[in-house]
Structure 1
Amino acid sequence: MGFLVWVIIGGIAGWVASLIMKTREGLLINIIVGIIGGLLGGWVLGLFGMAPEGNGLIASFLTALVGACILLAIAKAVLGGRAVGK
């Protein structure tokens, strides 16, 4: 996938993850969380024997969404329940 597609999928995945995890993020943070979430989600799914790469945009989005939710949950735990992104 091209860099622009990574940014778009990352932004959407980060935004949806922030809605799910009830955090308020800005556009740039959503993109960063989504892209890092994609890497984290790919790694976690790889541990379970799943290979999300090469399976299309929907699989990439779901992988980034799972990873972004994990990343936001970790951030909430580290920050002690304070709002993430403020």
Structure 2
Amino acid sequence: MRGVGIIGAIVVGLLAGWIAEKVMNREHGLLTNLVVGLLGALVGPIVLGSLHLMPVQGGFWPSLLISTIGAIVLLFLLGLIKRA
């Protein structure tokens, strides 16, 4: 997450985790949303980078979008693992 700082990263992580929770129709707590959102910030650039879709600029909105995509992918993969 370029250009958002520590507090911004926490806010982005919480929002990304919450959005991913709603999109994937799951129910988690605040701490789980934070963890999923922050891990999504690690997974998102890998997914978007492999597809050559990374935005050039950093900041709050691109970071939120990338983190949310990563969090959704993470929740999807965890759902597959839980079913197996």
TM-score bracket relative to the smaller structure: 0.7 to 0.9
Of the three residues 14, 34, 40, the one matched with 1:31 is 34
Contact 2:8–2:60 (CA under 8 A) maintained in structure 1: no
Sequence identity of aligned pairs in percent? 33
Out of 2, 14, 21, which is 1:11 matched to?
A: 14
The answer as to whether partners of 1:53 and 1:60 remain within 8 angstroms in 2 is: no
| Structure with greater proportional helix content | 2
| Secondary structure of the structure 1 residue equivalent to 2:83 | coil
Please point out which of 25, 32, 38 is paired with 1:22. 25
Q: Which has the higher contact order (CA 8 A, sep 6+)?
A: 2
Match of 1:76 in 2: 79
Asked if 1:56 corresponds to 2:59, the answer is: yes
Q: TM-score, normalised by structure 1?
A: 0.85
Aligned-residue CA RMSD in angstroms?
Answer: 1.5
Distance 1:67 1:79 in 2: 18
CA offsets 1:31-82 (integer angstroms, 9 cap, x no match)? 000010011001111112233464321111010010000000011111118x
TM-score after normalising by structure 2: 0.87
Paired residue total: 81
Unaligned segments of structure 1, at least 5 residues: 82-86
Structure 2 unpaired stretches of 5+: none
